[in-house]
Amino acid sequence: MNHQPFEDWLLNDKNLTSPEKRELDLHLRTCTHCTALSATGLALRSANVIAPAAGFTVRFQERLAIQKVAERRRKLWGMMVLLIGGAGLLSWFAAPYIYTFISSPVEWFTAAIGYFLFIITSLQALTQVVSVLARILPDFIPPYMWMVFISALAGFGLLWTISIWRFSRRTPQGVSA
């Protein structure tokens, strides 16, 4: 028998029968490559398992506690930065309005009531336009166009949901479900 089958037996860690073992022993006397393969296989199979130094679990618990404190601190700092930043941005945008409100409150109240009335009347007008369109449009737009429109909306919705799902499922290297 030539060299290749013996190499395959050794590489695949094949369970050998007695005649096969004898054949392999004969081959090992003449083939240095297969002898090395056999020796490394034996060495790998007999290599022992190394245990960590005593107290590994205690050291892990300490590390976990430190990690938890650091995580809490990071969250707190994040929240504070967000709150202070948000408050700063809001006050920067609102400063001119607050200033005018403090200097002439009556004028501001009149303007605010005017805006409020404008929004209410605009909403009423919009409702009327929508109800008129809802009565007229179905006669002009064929049903299949409605179906295309609704399908496109559903497609976009699905795409958006999948993107968010994929983004939220991102995990560090090696950690998988």
| Among residues 4, 15, 18, 57, the one that binds another protein under rule CB under 8 A | 57
Residue (55 or 88) nearer to another protein, CB? 55
68: which DSSP letter? H
Task: Give the integer Cα–Cα distance in Å for 75 and 83.
Answer: 12
Distance (Å, whole) CA 14 – CA 26: 17
Would the CA dihedral through 110, 115, 116, 118 be positive or negative? positive
- The torsion region of residue 48 among left (phi > 0), alpha (psi -120 to 50) and beta comes to beta
By CB under 8 A, name the one of 5, 16, 28, 37 that touches another protein: 37
By CB under 8 A, name the one of 45, 96, 106, 167 that touches another protein. 45
One of 49, 102, 106, 134 touching another protein (CB under 8 A): 49
Closest separation in Å from C-beta 66 to another protein: 10
Q: State how far the Cα of 130 lies from the Cα of 136, in Å rounded to an integer.
A: 10
Residues 13-32 vs another protein: string with x where CB under 8 A? -------------------x
Residue among 14, 33, 72, 73 that touches another protein (CB under 8 A) = 33
* Among 19, 43, 92, 143, contact with another protein (rule: CB under 8 A): 43
Examine residue 73 and tell whether it contacts another protein (CB under 8 A). no
Q: Is the dihedral of CA 139, 141, 143, 149 positive or negative?
A: negative
165 vs 158: CA distance, rounded Å: 10
At 176, phi and psi to the nearest 5? -135, 160
- Closest CB to another protein among residues 15, 103: 15
Interface residues toward another protein, by CB under 8 A: 10-11, 32-33, 36-37, 39-41, 43-53, 56-57, 59-61, 63-64, 67, 171-177
